[in-house]
Structure 1
Amino acid sequence: MKIAVASQNRKEITGHTGMCRKFWIYSIENDAIAGKDMLELTKDQSFHETSPLEPSPLDHVQVLIAGGMGTGLARRLQRKNIQALITKQTSPDQAVEDFLNGTLKTEALEPHEHGHEHGHHHHD
């Protein structure tokens, strides 16, 4: 089994999955992490830039864990038989361990519209 975790800074789980271009790919064997590799996409390969019908470098994973994702991307992953999970957990390793143990706390998907604020707070 393969689990992808969105991690733009390589340390923490990324919130905006559509724009994310770095994903940890965990290889799972016997319900344990057997390996972990960084998959870097080009900007043109990001979910934001590609059509849902195009093949993606992430098509081989069964689960994608992220900090946030719009319903459009979640539906797109579902069509590719990829389970999309949203979590507030920030550590990729811990999120995968929790998923394997059945203890990963997940969040509901957020409706996603383009052109709105993404929860960025601007301080004057």
Structure 2
Amino acid sequence: MPDLIDKIAWIHLEQRRLLVARNAGRERFYLPGGKREPGESDLETLVRELEEELTVVVDPGTAAYVGTFEALADARSDGLVVRLTCYTASHSGPFAPSREIDEITWITSVDGDRVSAVDRLVLGHLRDADLID
């Protein structure tokens, strides 16, 4: 079993709120994105995952690195860590949950109990940077 889950995530803010998604059968929301396929770069992963999850097309030429955050995986006692490398980027197309996504919503920094431990770190970072309410 790996000690690290390495994921790429999209930070998308509107009106000082953060876009998050919830998988089928899950309670917590998470930042859109996911694990890379073999040989994929961060941006290739970002583009593929967002098209799969939200049916939007991300422009990799507009991507900007936000930060990398690490926290213990939720509901695990084996020390598994999630590393989340986050980017902003422009997109085209309307948001529509697809594939395994049941719901998308907008959250603020007071919604930390609705997201995973690593996403709470991202919320804190965005709040400290005065980018989110």
* TM-score for both structures, normalised by structure 2: 0.26
Task: Give the structure with the larger helix fraction.
Answer: 2
Task: Give the structure with the larger strand fraction.
Answer: 2
Work out which structure has the larger RCO, using CA pairs closer than 8 Å and 6 or more positions apart in sequence: 2
